[in-house]
Each structure stands twice: as structure tokens, then as C-alpha cells.
């Protein structure tokens, strides 16, 4: 069966409505309340991104908070979405003063907020002088936020606009979580039950390679899935990778039940090495073995992402080879019509060829979806994210290792 859908991945349960008066892309700049910053931030720690264990240690050992008080702080921060400590009403005045003296709450700064004609919302968020983009895709039964994990990208996939932007740096755990917090704040989405949330799903499919920033991505995942905070189910989170083979099994071991997506995009090493350079380091055979290993740890189907490039990877033979490649583990193939960007060297496969390709996979017994582009008019569709941030060599380190 072939499905045509606009969703990114998996199920959600939320609805999202936009103002009827908004008929085209709109741009807004951040307000003082959106930035949630003040002159004290240079001398205090951002509480967003500190692990629950570390926050408990700091508040109990350094500031004499009782453990149940730490839980209250955590709930105010992540469950209720309060951005000022003065609103933590079940704490004493002394405790609130202590928090104000040593910490601040900062989700980042919304530099630009764009709304597509189809309801997709792209946010340009500033962090420490650099910017990243995150995208919210609303649908009738779910709302998915696509988050970034790096400023720029480690790998230069030739069909991806982000790949034309050199890696600037890894995002911190707080900056990754901050994207989710910012989206919920802008949509007044804190304090609701799971069933009523607008933002129900998170996918790591924005700028950057998540597994090449594993330490910070994993720290963010622990905060996102904490049941007393943001409380996102692991089944509603998907991490996409271009194929960092050594860390795929690690992800499955650390987060059982989490979704995995593989940016495959070709069914043979020759083509994949040309369009996804990481294939030269970890070829398809090693990547497929990593998928089989991951499947022994998780019951979820692995999503195979496959961008449709005319005359490059879209032949019937490519489809036959793809079906053979992924037949040894549970999978869902997500065919992605190529979304063009300024200077792109490719064209999208024809609609007829995409249907033929999907039909070959369907006859092979594979579950296939064809992603319907969302947010193209604001360059928010898959493969279209890029910011103007550049690397400052004198102050920033070189390319990080996967665990940095």
C-alpha cells in the first residue's frame, strides 16, 4: 500500500489552527518577552539544558533545597513553562531569590518567525551569536517540530541546502531543548494534558547530523522524555542520521523505543558516495548491518528516507535494489520529492516516476509513503534549511568528535 502524506513521521494526537487572516508567509521579530533575557544572564547559569540529576545536585548541595523542592522547580520550568522564577509560586521568597541570583531561563531569541500558506511555521532562533532554524508542521491529529542539532552541518550532502553551510558548532543540550520550549511558548502549549498538546512529536531532522553531536543530543533526549517535565514519549521522537554507524546501536541501547530514520537516498555505494559523502567512511553494507542490529533492540520500523532526484537515483532498477537492501529488517520507506533551493544542482523526479518507484517497492511488500512537501514557500521543506551563521576560526574549535 502506498500512502501520500504530509506528516514527517509516526503518530501524534494534536490539532493546530492558524489565524484565518494569515493567507501568506509572514515575518515577525522577537519581542522582549520572547527573548526572556536580561542583563544578569552573563553572571548566571541557564537552567534550560541542565540535567535533572545535576540540577538536583546543585540545588541540594549548594543552595540547601530539599529534593521535593527541586522537583517543583523542574515542573515549573518544563511542565508549566514558566520563564521567570518569581512565578514559581510554591517556593519561598528566599528560594526564588536564590534562583534569581544564580540562574536564568533562556530559550534563545526568535530572530524571525515565518508562516507558510499551508500552516507550516519556521522559526529562526539565535543562540550565542549564531542562528538555527526549527520548523513546526501542524496536522489534524499531530503537531511535529523539526529541530536542529548543529549550526551548519558536518556533512555536505549535495542535495541539501544545509550541506552548503559549513559546520559552525554543535548545539548544546539547552539549545536543542530550547527549540522545543520556544515552540511551545509561542503556541501557548504548556500545561496541557498529552491529548491536548499542539506539539506532540519531535524529529531531529533540522540542521546538522544528530549523531555527530551525540553527547548533547542524548542529554536533550533525557530532558525531553522526562515524565515530570516535557514528558514526550520516546515513540514520538525520531532521530535521523546520514549514517554514523558506530552510534546507531548506541542510540538504541540508550533510548529503547525511540524512532530511527536513515537518510539513505541511494541503493548503491557509487551513487550514495556521490550525494551522501559519509558513505565513503561507512558504506551501505555497514549501514544496513547497523540497522539490523538496531532492530534487535527496538520493535519500531526504521524509516528509510529517500529523496527523489531525477535521473540520479529514481530508476526502476534503483527501486529494485532498494527493496533488496532493506528486506532484512522492519522498515518504512519515505519517498521525498526533492525540494529545490537557490543554486540546487538537481531536479525533482517526475510525479509519474515517483509513483512507479513507489509501486516497485509496494509490490516487494514494503510499506511506502510519499511525503507531501510542506513550507516550500518559506524554504521550510525537507532539505531547505540554512542560516547565515559562519564559523569564527579564532574563537571556535575544529570539527567535533561524535561524542563532543
In DSSP terms, 121 is beta-bridged to 115, 136
93 CB-near residues (< 8 Å, 6+ apart): none
- Active-site residue 382, yes or no? yes
Active-site residue, from 133, 175, 209, 305: 133
Q: Is 271:313 a contact under the CB 8 Å cutoff?
A: yes
Q: Is 209:282 a contact under the CB 8 Å cutoff?
A: no
User: Alpha-carbon distance 307 to 159, whole Å?
Assistant: 8
- Active-site residue 175, yes or no? no
Residues constituting the chain: 404
State the helix-helix crossing angle for 351-363 and 316-325, rounded to 10 degrees.
40
Active-site residue, from 157, 291, 348, 382: 382
User: Alpha-carbon distance 32 to 64, whole Å?
Assistant: 32
CA distances 59 to 44, 70, 98, Å, are 14, 7, 10
Residue-by-residue DSSP string for 106-174: ---EEEEEEE-TTS-EEEEEEETTEEEEEEEEE-SS-EEEE--SEESBSS--TT-GGGGSBP-EEPPHH
Nearest C-alpha neighbor of 50 from the set 179, 193, 176: 176
Q: Which long-range CB contacts under 8 A does 340-345 form with residues at least 24 apart? A: 341/161, 341/379, 341/383, 341/384, 341/386, 343/164, 344/159, 344/161, 345/158
Active site residues: 133, 382
Amino acid at each position: 500500500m502506498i500512502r501520500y502524506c504530509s506528516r514527517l513521521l509516526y503518530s501524534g494526537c494534536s490539532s493546530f489552527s492558524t489565524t484565518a487572516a494569515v493567507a501568506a508567509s509572514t515575518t515577525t521579530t522577537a519581542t522582549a518577552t520572547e527573548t526572556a533575557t536580561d542583563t544578569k544572564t552573563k553572571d548566571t547559569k541557564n537552567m534550560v539544558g541542565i540535567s535533572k540529576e545535576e540540577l538536583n545536585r546543585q540545588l541540594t548541595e549548594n543552595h540547601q533545597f530539599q529534593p521535593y523542592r527541586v522537583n517543583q522547580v523542574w515542573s515549573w520550568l518544563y511542565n508549566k513553562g514558566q520563564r521567570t522564577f518569581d512565578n514559581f509560586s510554591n517556593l519561598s521568597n528566599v528560594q526564588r531569590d536564590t534562583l534569581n541570583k544564580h540562574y536564568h531561563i533562556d530559550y534563545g531569541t526568535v530572530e524571525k518567525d515565518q508562516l507558510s500558506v499551508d500552516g507550516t511555521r519556521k522559526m529562526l532562533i539565535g543562540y550565542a551569536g549564531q542562528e538555527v532554524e526549527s520548523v513546526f508542521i501542524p496536522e489534524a491529529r499531530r503537531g511535529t517540530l523539526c529541530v536542529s542539532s548543529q549550526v551548519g552541518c558536518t556533512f555536505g550532502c549535495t542535495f541539501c541546502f544545509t550541506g552548503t553551510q559549513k559546520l559552525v558548532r554543535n548545539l548544546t543540550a539547552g539549545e536543542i531543548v530550547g527549540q522545543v520550549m520556544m515552540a511551545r511558548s509561542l503556541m501557548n502549549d504548556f500545561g496541557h494534558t498529552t491529548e491536548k498538546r499542539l506539539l506532540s512529536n519531535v524529529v531531529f531532522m533540522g540542521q546538522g547530523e544528530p549523531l555527530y553531536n551525540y553527547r548533547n543530543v542524548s542529554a536533550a533526549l533525557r530532558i525531553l522524555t522526562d515524565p515530570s517535565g516535557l514528558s514526550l514519549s520516546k515513540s514520538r521522537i525520531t532521530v535521523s542520521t546520514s549514517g554514523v554507524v558506530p552510534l546507531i546501536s548506541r542510540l538504541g541501547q540508550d533510548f529503547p523505543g525511540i524512532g530511527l530514520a536513515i537518510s539513505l537516498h541511494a541503493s548503491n555505494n557509487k551513487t550514495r558516495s556521490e550525494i551522501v559523502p559519509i558513505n565513503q567512511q561507512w558504506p551501505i553494507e555497514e549501514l544496513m548491518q547497523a540497522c539490523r542490529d538496531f532492530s534487535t533492540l527496538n520493535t519500531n520500523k526504521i524509516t528509510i528516507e529517500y529523496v527523489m532526484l531525477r535521473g540520479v537515483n529514481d530508476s526502476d532498477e534503483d527501486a529494485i535494489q532498494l527493496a533488496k537492501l532493506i528486506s532484512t529488517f522492519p522498515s518504512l520507506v519515505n519517498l521525498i520529492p526533492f525540494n529545490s533551493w537557490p543554486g540546487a544542482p538537481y531536479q525533482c523526479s517526475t510525479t509519474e516516476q515517483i509513483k512507479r518507484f513507489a509501486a516497485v517497492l509496494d509490490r516487494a511488500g514494503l510499506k511506502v509513503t510519499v511525503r507531501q512537501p510542506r513550507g516550500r514557500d518559506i524554504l521550510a521543506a525537507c532539505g531547505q534549511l540554512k542560516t547565515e551563521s559562519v564559523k569564527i576560526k579564532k574563537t571556535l574549535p575544529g570539527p567535533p568528535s561524535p561524542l563532543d
